[in-house]
Amino acid sequence: MKRLFGTSGVRGVVGEEITPELFIELGLALATHLGNSGTVIVGRDPRLSGEMLEDSLVSGILSGGCEVRRAGMVPTPVLAFAVRLLGANAGAMITASHNPPEYNGVKFWDSEGVAFAPAVEKEIERIFYEKSGKRVGWQKLGRVGNVDASSGYLKMVTEGIKLSKSYKVVVDCGNGAASPLTPVLLRRIGCKVVSLNCQPDGNFPGRGLEPNEGNLKELSEIVSATGADIGIAHDGDADRAAAVDEKGNFANEDKLLAAVASRNVRKGDIVVTTVESSKVVYDAVGKKGGKVVKTPVGDVSVAEAVKKNSAVFGGEPSGAWIFPEVHLAPDGPLSAIRILQLLDSSSKKLSEILGALPDYPTIRKKMACPNEKKSETMRKIGKELRAEFKGAEILEIDGVRLDLDEGWVLVRPSGTEPYIRITAEGKTEKTAKELVERASEILNKTI
Ligand code: MG
């Protein structure tokens, strides 16, 4: 069966993979999965196709007999939070996260505000492909209302947060879904806020939506120029956060993850992260007596493992972080609060906190491999890699990760592109290079 769902919901280019017709059918499949009753909260990011797709999805849901509450334009974590807070049966967030403006998609949430597990996504796919969506009679069609999802969220996440001083924060929302929310949230906890790209705009004129170093140059400059304590940025739907330190330097994602993850870890606590994470995370968590559980890449896998292991934190180096004491959705605005709490509790500047963590050089390489050959190649290569890296600890939950004393190497097929990626991290640059070379030689032979 063809897959509709990727690592983070259904996603594609509008007018190609993503059409109003598809969204009507997805809405009906969701309502059918819910047993043709209950309430679904629907939200969207500011993409130009958002309103069109929302109307289609809502129409499909209503035809399946479920009620709809429209949350309008909200960040993904606000939508997920509202599902649980308001006792709804599911949530649907229309977004393509950090993808360019021509993309859109949808991600579904269960009644606890957790992203649909892969098994549930498969069930929706089955209904969709078998065309077994069940429409209800005219007397039983669902009704629509609106809901204010942001107020309850803002109240809940800012309650009881007291910082020892007023931090100056530059916030760059990239014209995305958190534009009206994160500046308000930070002011509520006493910060002085300078807003950048905080007008929602589906053309995303301010910058690329991926909150990486290249896209955050302007944020870096403004942090330095205004003498701010920190810069915070989100991706398009604000389930992720990235930071810039007080000197205007982009904060290394693995180190930031390590610092935030370990802040509240006590002996025996579990932290969840993906197979792509750096040793710096394991070191920081281990130092506090905590344990790290690894998952496949993708926030859906991380959320599942956080729940299963009762973890105190779950996160990916991309900046999608889960704080289970509040909820199980990756949450960019809440991450901003936690980063400020990290500064406040350590009484140090961000550059000092991150500077105290070790540097582990990482090298990445991608090798072309046609999509249809990926699984066969990965099967063959597992054996070869085991032979090459004798004595390594092997993990095969998502590609093959081999952990050695001097570093680790991960060989993993790209989820969306015709590549197999090699990532290696070593205690030195030389080791990282060697690990990549050894793995790519084997891959070369196999492809
Ligand atoms: Mg996102």
d(Cα 70, Cα 144) in Å, to the nearest integer? 7
If one counts every other C-beta atom within 10 angstroms of the C-beta of residue 258, the result is 29
Homologous superfamily of domain range 252-359: Alpha-D-Glucose-1,6-Bisphosphate, subunit A, domain 3 (3.40.120.10)
- Please give the average per-residue pLDDT across 137-154, as a whole number: 98
Instruction: Tell me the pLDDT band of 90, cut-offs 50, 70 and 90.
Output: very high
Q: What is the DSSP letter of 359?
A: P
> Ligand 1: distance of its center to the CA of 140 in Å?
35
Domain spanning 362-446 has what CATH number?
3.30.310.50
User: Kind of pairing, strands 67-73 and 39-44?
Assistant: parallel
User: Kind of pairing, strands 407-413 and 400-404?
Assistant: antiparallel
What pLDDT, on the 0 to 100 scale, is given for residue 8? Answer: 80
What pLDDT, on the 0 to 100 scale, is given for residue 1? Answer: 62
- Please give the average per-residue pLDDT across 315-342, as a whole number: 97
Instruction: Tell me the pLDDT band of 181, cut-offs 50, 70 and 90.
Output: very high
CATH 3.40.120.10 assigned to domain 167-249? The reply is: yes
- Please give the average per-residue pLDDT across 306-325, as a whole number: 96
Query: How does the average pLDDT of the chain come out, rounded?
Result: 96
**pLDDT over 80 at 7, yes or no:** no
Q: What is the pLDDT of residues 190-237, one digit of tens each?
A: 999 999 999 999 999 999 999 999 999 999 999 999 999 999 999 999
Q: What is the DSSP string of 405-433?
A: TTEEEEEEE-SSSSEEEEEEEESSHHHHH
Q: What is the DSSP letter of 355?
A: H
Q: What is the pLDDT of residues 241-289, one digit of tens each?
A: 999 999 999 999 999 999 999 998 999 999 999 999 999 999 999 999 9
Active site residue 97: yes
What pLDDT, on the 0 to 100 scale, is given for residue 3? Answer: 85
The DSSP bridge partners found for residue 425 are 362, 408
Spans of all domains in the chain: 5-148, 167-249, 252-359, 362-446
> Ligand 1: distance of its center to the CA of 95 in Å?
8
d(Cα 16, Cα 37) in Å, to the nearest integer? 31
Instruction: Tell me the pLDDT band of 408, cut-offs 50, 70 and 90.
Output: very high
What pLDDT, on the 0 to 100 scale, is given for residue 414? Answer: 84
> Ligand 1: distance of its center to the CA of 75 in Å?
9
> Ligand 1: distance of its center to the CA of 32 in Å?
27
**pLDDT over 90 at 69, yes or no:** yes
What pLDDT, on the 0 to 100 scale, is given for residue 6? Answer: 82
Cα–Cα distances in angstroms (integers) from residue 242 to residues 210, 322, 342, 385, in the given order? 10, 14, 14, 34
**Of residues 97, 150, 220, 278, which has the active-site annotation?**
97
In contact, 84 and 327? CB cutoff 8 Å: yes
Homologous superfamily of domain range 5-148: Alpha-D-Glucose-1,6-Bisphosphate, subunit A, domain 3 (3.40.120.10)
Residues near 113 by beta carbon (within 8 Å), at least 6 away in sequence: 80, 81, 82, 83, 84, 85, 91, 327, 328, 329
Measured in whole angstroms, the distance separating CA 422 from the mean position of its chain's CA atoms is 21
What pLDDT, on the 0 to 100 scale, is given for residue 259? Answer: 98
Report yes or no on whether pTM surpasses 0.85: yes
> Ligand 1: distance of its center to the CA of 103 in Å?
13
Measured in whole angstroms, the distance separating CA 203 from the mean position of its chain's CA atoms is 22
What pLDDT, on the 0 to 100 scale, is given for residue 348? Answer: 97
Tokens linked to 172 = 């760059």
Q: What is the DSSP string of 208-234?
A: -SS-STGGGHHHHHHHHHHT-SEEEEE
> Ligand 1: distance of its center to the CA of 304 in Å?
17
d(Cα 177, Cα 209) in Å, to the nearest integer? 11
What pLDDT, on the 0 to 100 scale, is given for residue 248? Answer: 98
If one counts every other C-beta atom within 10 angstroms of the C-beta of residue 270, the result is 19
> Ligand 1: distance of its center to the CA of 253 in Å?
15
What pLDDT, on the 0 to 100 scale, is given for residue 417? Answer: 78
- Please give the average per-residue pLDDT across 415-430, as a whole number: 90
For the beta sheet containing 230-234, the strands, ordered from the edge strand earlier in sequence to the opposite edge, are 192-196, 168-172, 230-234, 241-244
> Ligand 1: distance of its center to the CA of 148 in Å?
21
Same fold, 5-148 and 362-446: no
What sign has the CA pseudo-torsion 247, 183, 316, 202?
A: negative
> Ligand 1: distance of its center to the CA of 80 in Å?
13
Cα–Cα distances in angstroms (integers) from residue 149 to residues 8, 204, 247, in the given order? 22, 23, 36
**% residues pLDDT > 90 (the chain):** 91
